[in-house]
Amino acid sequence: MDETVIGFVGLLRRNGVRVSIAESMDTFHALDLVGLGTRAAVKDTLRATLVKRGADLPAYDRLFDLYFSGIGEIVKDAESRSRAALDLDPAEYQELIEALARFLEEQGIELSELARALLRQDSARLERLLRDAAKQAGVQRIERPFQEGQFAQGMQEALGVGGAARELQLIGDALGAGDPDPRRQRLSRFVERRLQELQEMIRRLIRGELEQRDLGQRDAARVQQLAEKSFYYLSEDEIRRMKEAVAKLAQRLKNVLAVKRRSARRGKFDVKDTLRKNLQYGGVPFKIRFDRRKRVKPQIVVLCDVSDSVRNVSRFMLQLVYSLQDLYSKVRSFIFVSDIGEITKLFEEHEIHQAIDQAIRGNVINVYAHSDFGRAFRTFHREHLAAITRHTTVIVLGDARNNYNLPHEWALREIKQRAKQLIWLNPESRMTWGFGDSEMDRYQPYCDVVEECRNLNQLYRVVDRIVVG
């Protein structure tokens, strides 16, 4: 059993479930206590000691079933299939097996271990034979589907399927293939069927092994953390999960800040000041002093590029900013492609995801135009410059791919001069800035901070800095 559990731990690790040595030791202590009585108890015990993340539970369940029931299940399935093929109920089936055993005895036919296990329906022995053969043929080394045939061959050799097939053939002959007696007919059909099932069992065993391997690779790919995944490559499903993740991050950020603000408002207990102030009462602490400092909530103006290339990032940025609204004294959001439009009102009137959908689907501005940062900045400068005061943090989100239009960096410069700070978030990798139609190099001098913002972790870090700093 020890070896089996260790093997299972290895399988879990290959599938991205982190299991430490301390944990596998716990497992053995726990198994000592619970015992190996029932399958369910063992499953619960291993789950409690080995799997510590809710997200790993589905993988664990599948792997446990694959690993611990594999061969037993296969053998049992084969039996019920043979029975179904002959259209018999369990009692009749048992009778048939006994009739065959009697016949073999009468005829004085000696069988190999494999053939006997097959015909007697000796599940335990069959299981052991299959397991040994699988080990001998090295089935656990299988990696690709096309190797199935090769390993099946190996297992057949290890089991001695050829010999068993010949024996069964002989029995079939002895039963007389052409005999009209229906009972004889049935016996020979049974013998034939069992041989087919043997092949099927081997195939299923190998496929099960392959599946364990396969599962490993699939899950390993998924383990690549959502938070580290570039916004460009998100699937539908991931976008949905990402929305939840953003909401959680926002909540956390909010809580952390709320605590900071609370303690800043009330202040920490100030020992020095308390002692000094209470000297006038003869050092008796009548008045407790706290350390207080004042903080101003930042104002925010967000300019989001919503052209096709950066739409996902814009979506999460807007979501995050709006989830954090009460941390700022004022938030105004604009979206642009080539025109620029304000969406602050839209957000006030609609539920957040609905509002974002409307905004980036083109209800506010034409989103199918070619990006023109220069024009957008110029328009903003002309119409909305009053939105910016010396308490304002301006966040621009875009890839600065300007389709070779005029960049009009002077507009950005003047925006910056009025604002407290200007932050540019670029969802493209830093390496590609300034190449092709990217105007990042021209805009960069007028920004206080320029950050790459390609995944959730980066987005979080940036927002954290804006709010805290």
Which residues of the shown chain bind another protein in the complex (CB under 8 A)?
18, 20, 22-23, 26, 29-30, 33-34, 40-41, 44-45, 47-49, 51-54, 57, 248, 251-252, 255-256, 258-259, 262-263, 269, 271, 282-285, 288, 351
- Collapse the DSSP code of 331 into the 3-class scheme (helix H, G, I; strand E, B; otherwise coil) and give the result: strand
| CB of 22 vs another protein, minimal distance in Å | 6
| CB of 236 vs another protein, minimal distance in Å | 14
Alpha helices per DSSP H over 386-451: 409-418, 440-443
Nearer to another protein, 235 or 386 (CB): 235
Rounded CA gap, 231 and 226, in Å?
9
| CB of 253 vs another protein, minimal distance in Å | 11
> What CA–CA distances, in Å, run from 168 to 23, 74, 88, 171, 175?
49, 21, 21, 5, 10
Nearer to another protein, 50 or 425 (CB): 50
| Residues contacting residue 461 through CB under 8 Å, at least 6 positions apart | none
| CB of 29 vs another protein, minimal distance in Å | 6
**CB of 278 within 8 A of CB of 285?**
yes
Nearer to another protein, 166 or 353 (CB): 353
> Taken in order 30, 36, 37, 41, is the CA torsion positive or negative?
positive
Structural tokens at position 133: 């053969």
174-176-178 Cα angle (round to 5): 165
Alpha helices per DSSP H over 176-269: 182-223, 236-266
| CB of 45 vs another protein, minimal distance in Å | 6
- Kindly report the number of other CB atoms within 10 A of residue 106's CB atom: 9
| CB of 224 vs another protein, minimal distance in Å | 16
CA 151 to chain centre: 32
**CB of 49 within 8 A of CB of 30?**
yes
| CB of 2 vs another protein, minimal distance in Å | 18
| CB of 67 vs another protein, minimal distance in Å | 19
- Helix axis angle for 161-175 and 182-223, nearest 10°, is 160
**CB of 408 within 8 A of CB of 439?**
no
| CB of 74 vs another protein, minimal distance in Å | 26
Strands (DSSP E) found in 85-127: none
**CB of 304 within 8 A of CB of 356?**
no
- Collapse the DSSP code of 156 into the 3-class scheme (helix H, G, I; strand E, B; otherwise coil) and give the result: helix
| CB of 38 vs another protein, minimal distance in Å | 9
Rounded CA gap, 463 and 313, in Å?
13
Nearer to another protein, 144 or 293 (CB): 293
Nearer to another protein, 44 or 441 (CB): 44
**CB of 17 within 8 A of CB of 50?**
yes
| CB of 350 vs another protein, minimal distance in Å | 12
Nearer to another protein, 255 or 366 (CB): 255
Nearer to another protein, 224 or 263 (CB): 263
**CB of 282 within 8 A of CB of 353?**
no
Residues in the chain: 469
Nearer to another protein, 30 or 165 (CB): 30
Nearer to another protein, 347 or 433 (CB): 347
Nearer to another protein, 88 or 227 (CB): 227
Nearer to another protein, 181 or 228 (CB): 228
**CB of 324 within 8 A of CB of 250?**
yes
| Residues contacting residue 27 through CB under 8 Å, at least 6 positions apart | 5, 9, 45, 46, 49, 50
